[in-house]
Structure 1
Amino acid sequence: MVTVEEQFGIQLRVTTGLRTIDEQNRLYEQGRTTSGNIVTWVRGGYSYHNYGLAIDVIEIKDKKVNWDENVLIRISSVGIRNGFSWGGNWKKQKDYPHFEITFGYKASELLEKYNKGELDNEGYIIFD
């Protein structure tokens, strides 16, 4: 497996990984019922972040965050080649920093497992 750093010389950092359903709901309200810009389009339970199956990444350049979308477009092929879906390929709201791997599950199916308590001792969904 070739990394983004090996292929492009770009250092990445994960800005967001696992998010609780409550955290997701707070983010969903941002820009809607609370101040700030809209940063997510899905409520808690419907984000792959809620199940540890999504990450948001950003480039670190000269010890600073670089939010240039062109960099994320450039590196997307590495994530895709490694089995991730990329938010930049979404039809509606593009999410360039977002990568997820769903193992064939819909978010609604994962939420159903969560609601049924199908969790391991660390609180993660038990996959069949």
Structure 2
Amino acid sequence: MSAFSFSERSLRLMDGVHPDLVKVVRRAMENTPSDFVVLEGVRSPERQQQLFQNGASRTLNSRHLTGHAIDLAPWIDQQIPWQDWPAFAALAQTMKLAARELGIPITWGGDWKNLKDGPHFELPRESYP
């Protein structure tokens, strides 16, 4: 059992996220060796448009719009270590293990070939249209 738990903010940000993805995130928190936070769950079309215009997203058809994606970040020494790719990769390993244990497929944005998105996890379109 993990020594970590979700903040009220992280719990609120999981509202509307697909229940299977929430199960994976919760299972990851139970087994994580280091704390993490939820950055973003469901996005409004307006928020997605803003991210697209600012270059922070490459699509207007994000899985965040339907609750099939969530952004997570390691929480180390009371901050997000944005420049510490290994910390994001370690969180991804924890998420992938949780997904395997639950039999729920996930995709990590850090595995994408063109745009590496360390915080991003989603349910694949093939399994969750």
Q: Normalising to structure 2: TM-score of the pair?
A: 0.65
Q: Write out per-residue CA displacement over residues 66-109 of structure 1, whole angstroms, 9 at most, x where no aligned residue.
A: 22211111221222230311001111111111000136268xxx
Partner of residue 92, structure 2: 76
CA-based RMSD? 2.2
- Structure with larger RCO (C-alpha < 8 A, sep 6+): 2
Larger Rg: 1
Deviation, 1:6, is 2.9
Contact 1:56 1:97 (8 Å CA) reproduced: yes
Q: Distance in 1 between matches of 2:29 and 2:90?
A: 9
Q: Report if aligned partners of 1:79, 1:85 keep a CA contact under 8 Å in 2.
A: no
For structure 1, the 5+ residue unaligned runs are 31-37, 111-128
Q: Distance in 1 between matches of 2:125 and 2:56?
A: 25
Residue 115 of structure 2 corresponds to 93
Count of residue pairs brought into register by the alignment? 97
Unmatched runs of 5 consecutive residues or more in structure 2: 1-23, 100-104
Q: Does 1:57 align with 2:82?
A: no
**What does residue 29 of structure 1 align with?**
53
Deviations 1:35-90 (A, max 9, x none): xxx211112xx100001111111111122222221111122122223031100111
Q: State the distance in 2 between where 1:59 and 1:80 align.
A: 15
Q: Report the TM-score when normalising by structure 1.
A: 0.65
CA–CA distance in structure 1, aligned partners of residues 49 and 35 of structure 2:
30
- Indicate the structure with greater helix content: 2
> Is residue 5–residue 11 contact of structure 1 (8 Å, CA) maintained in 2?
no
